[in-house]
Amino acid sequence: MSESGQGGERGWSLSATAEGDGVRLELGLPDLGGRPVTAILSLDRSEARAFARALLAAAGDATERTFVGPAES
């Protein structure tokens, strides 16, 4: 799995690869303090599931803060 914006607008990438009984996640950031950075996480199954739940919860919280009510007309 890899993610990037249209035409590379986001610039970041995320990839997941099966690794033994777990997963290897690689998050690439094009510019962190003036240099590209890649963070690598090697997680077992339970860690990967906990990480996925935490990401989903964070995305839900961010969405709720962004869209606090019905659109005004």
Q: Quote the pLDDT of residue 9.
A: 61
| pLDDT band (50, 70, 90) for residue 63 | confident
Three-state DSSP class for residue 27: strand
Domain ranges for the chain: 6-66
| pLDDT band (50, 70, 90) for residue 3 | very low
| pLDDT band (50, 70, 90) for residue 4 | very low
This model's pTM is above 0.95:
no
Distances (CA, A) of 33 to 26, 27, 43, 51, 73: 19, 16, 27, 26, 41
Q: Quote the pLDDT of residue 34.
A: 86
Q: Quote the pLDDT of residue 72.
A: 62
